[in-house]
Structure 1
Amino acid sequence: MSTGPPPGLPTVDAETPAVLVVAGPVTRDDVARLGQDVRALLKDTGAAVVVCDVAALGPVTLASVDVLARLQLTARRAGGRVRLRDPAPALRALLDLVGLPFELEGKAEQREPALRVEEAVEPGDPAV
């Protein structure tokens, strides 16, 4: 018989960043609740970083950027910082446009390999 996770925030060690999932379209009304979640994660886990998983954030708007900026400010005031996990390319572009520096993690962008670059070198291959 399996049971669900215990109620409340998960317990993690100080080496593991705390994770907050930010899903759905967010509005300024969500700032207070999400800010409390960020402060609680920093305090309860002892982590220095709160990873905000924004993969399911929904449509990228200035309101969502505003919410993320306020979460970063809240984390810094509490002695931590925010890192974004799996931001959409549109969100990355908008954050760059408005000049908000966030640490990012997640899937690397798919790019074409650079021309004239060897992927591997075998022992005994002549140098070019």
Structure 2
Amino acid sequence: MSYACPRGLQIVDAMTPAVLVLTGPVTRDEVTGLCDDLRALLEATGARGPSVVVCDVGGLGPPGLGAVDLLARLELTARRAGGRIRLRDPDPALRALLDLVGLRFEVEGQPEQREPALGVEEAVEPGDPAL
């Protein structure tokens, strides 16, 4: 499930994150190789600040604890390397399973948690204390 990294300098566009395509089902033996691939992609970006690798999980297969374990290990690997992962095309059942076990991942196409969604305004009720 892993691929060989090409030799020489890799060309990485600073605006486009690297993509790791995950197809499944993934066996336990393949998890270590995928973590190595992720680490290599994070090192190849060489960007200042936290690097992001997009994990395309659309072809991961039916959601289960194996997928949860894989994504948790990939997130840990990314954090240890000073980066993070973002999910692309997750199955709704996989997102529900990740929520159930308490794992939160950034998903492409969704606003980040620290940013308010577009068009959302906070309402203030009369009588609310000013902060």
Tell me if TM exceeds 0.5.
yes
Q: Deviations over 1:13-36 (max 9, x none)?
A: 233211000012012211110001
Q: How far apart are the structure 1 equivalents of 2:91 and 2:104?
A: 15
Correspondence for 1:95: 98
1:43-54 equivalences under 5 Å are 43-47=43-47, 48-54=51-57
Correspondence for 2:63: 60
Q: Percent identity?
A: 70
Aligned alpha-carbon RMSD (Å): 1.9
Matched pairs, number: 101
Q: How far apart are the structure 2 equivalents of 1:31 and 1:72?
A: 12
Which amino acid letter does the alignment assign opposite residue 23 of structure 1? T
State the 1:106 CA deviation. 4.9
Correspondence for 2:41: 41
- Aligned: 1:71 with 2:74: yes
1:106/1:88 Cα in 2 relative to 1: closer, same or farther (>3 Å)?
A: farther
Answer with 1 or 2: which has the greater Rg.
1
Q: How far apart are the structure 1 equivalents of 2:106 and 2:79?
A: 13
Give the strand-richer structure, 1 or 2: 2
TM-score by length of 1: 0.72
1:79/1:19 Cα in 2 relative to 1: closer, same or farther (>3 Å)?
A: same
- Aligned: 1:12 with 2:15: no
TM-score by length of 2: 0.71
